[in-house]
Amino acid sequence: MAKEQEKKQGKLIVFSAPSGSGKTTIVRHLLGKENLNLEFSISATSRAKRGEEEHGKDYYFLSAKEFKSKIKNDEFLEWEEVYRDNFYGTLKTEVERIWALGKNVIFDIDVSGGLRIKRKFPEETLAIFVKPPSIDELKIRLKKRKTESEDKINMRVAKASAELATAPLFDTIIVNDDLEKALQEANKKVGNFINY
């Protein structure tokens, strides 16, 4: 009886990858698929806005002080200090907000954050690692963005090597060497998991 009254909780779909692998493009594509009933989990960050980014749409932009205060108050599902005083995390209230809408949560999140969510919700989470064809291709993609300095790009490329080593810890790996193929594969895997 209690089982029937229980509200069906949404699923968690985690996309993680080194910067420049194409995970954001894949996530945006999936958000357009109505049958998947997805809502994007907006991460919190202490980094400065880039370009046209908006608070509450792209990220919840917090100062490093605000971020640390929320860590202290246990308000994050997961968080990480990616670089010194440069924090990223998922607020618990964000997941609760999306589940209250009766939707599945989709994350575009760094590798360690993605794995933390998988550990906390092993049954409800599909963790997908998006792999670039190569480190060289990754560097080319990051340069094409024209959003960061050469130093930042080199830092991201160095971090990517460590992130690539975590790929086997994810439920599935999608190699993004052909975007159309990667989009189809992601759509199929997410659809199968949600409707399982």
pLDDT of residue 8: 60
Listed by start position, the domains of the chain span 10-191
Burial annotation 29-46 (CB, 10 A radius, 16+ → b, else e) = bbeeeeebebbbbbbbbb
Is the predicted pLDDT of residue 2 greater than 50, yes or no? no
Is the predicted pLDDT of residue 17 greater than 80, yes or no? yes
Give the H/E segment covering residue 88: strand 86-91
- pLDDT, tens digit (0-9, with 9 covering 90-100), for 74-129: 999 999 997 788 999 999 999 999 999 999 999 999 899 999 999 999 999 999 99
- The CATH code of domain 10-191 reads 3.40.50.300
* 117, 109 contact by CB (below 8 A): yes
